Amino acid sequence: LLYERHGEPPAVVQLKDLEAAKLGDSDVHVKMLAAPINPADINMIQGTYAILSPLPAVGGNEGVGEVLEVGRCVEALKPGDWVIPATSGLGTWRTQGVFPEQMLLKVPSDIPVLCAATLSVNPCTAYRMLADFETLAPGDSVIQNAANSGVGQAVIQIAKASGIKTINVVRDRPDLPKLVERLMALGADHVVTEEMLRKPEMKDIFKSIPKPRLALNCVGGKSTTEMLRHLQPKGTMVTYGGMAKQPVMVPVSAFIFRDMRLRGFWMTQWRKDHEQDQQSVASMMDALCQLIRRGHLTAPACTEVPLQDYKEALEAAMKPFTSSKQILLL
């Protein structure tokens, strides 16, 4: 799926037949199996993301493929292995591709294909935010907005497996009871709407669990300011998205009297910073795959779409209140 200029998908995206590149000595020929449509993929096509691929570009930053053939200098991969992108900008919305070995990460092929296809962005983001900003112990709690997003669903499950309680904020919507039920089934401890953050009932939640030391923000605007009020003094709020397209507003008192820390996180940057540190990448992937194998981490709610129906998939991915991730089957 190719775009030759930036603009609104699906209008600027087209399905094209291209010759696969020649296999170099350090290259790997991959047959793609499945690739999701993430918000960042849409933003890259629109030309509004922090990093853009040189045009013309193949869409998609995430997915899983099977190795068909390897160049003669490739040692870590062999035909039949499953691989996911090691960096962004790989262009995963394609049936086949030839990529340099260092752009791929091997993953076990005994995990479900949808878990592998959605592994490199959202679960990694969730894992790092839970691990890198506050030292959380079983019984501690975390509060997050956009709790039904791909990252939100991963945070709920990874936290649950570690004995950490989650307070999950979602926007009010027509099918709210259904969404609450789904998040509780994943292991959420509490699900509240943005409006409830302002209500006295929040005090009841903190009778049974401690106030959170960590807040994860993917929205911005009012939702974030309200969430911050429930953080413990010296707590940390990590912003990793801005779905409301509004700034993060923080009262001065939160800094002076409660010494709040505001941090940011971008998985792409973390990968760049850890290019030479393959150990930390491997241990994260290993931990996530173990959770998947034990049934503690599942793929987000997905809708599987054949590649030729990409227009419908792109349109569905851009609708508000989407609770299902579009996955292209390749």
Q: d(Cα 240, Cα 252) in Å, to the nearest integer?
A: 22
Q: What is the DSSP letter of 260?
A: -
Q: d(Cα 119, Cα 154) in Å, to the nearest integer?
A: 10
Single out the residue of 201, 158, 176, 189 nearest to residue 290, CA to CA: 158
Q: Which positions ≥6 away from 77 have C-beta within 8 Å?
A: 28, 67, 70, 83, 101, 104, 106
Under a CB-based contact definition with an 8 Å cutoff, are residues 127 and 286 in contact?
Answer: no
* Virtual torsion, Cα 97, 98, 101, 104, nearest 10 deg: -10
Q: d(Cα 73, Cα 76) in Å, to the nearest integer?
A: 9
Catalytic residue positions, numbered: 49
Q: d(Cα 229, Cα 261) in Å, to the nearest integer?
A: 13
Q: d(Cα 163, Cα 129) in Å, to the nearest integer?
A: 16
Distance of CA 154 to the CA centre of its chain: 8
First-to-last alpha carbon distance for the chain, in angstroms, is 11
Q: List the beta bridge partners of residue 144.
A: 168, 216
The DSSP bridge pattern shows strands 236-239 and 214-217 to be: parallel
Tell me which residue has tokens 């791929």: 104
How far, in Å, are 9, 62, 91, 116, 287 from residue 105 at the CA level? 29, 12, 15, 11, 15
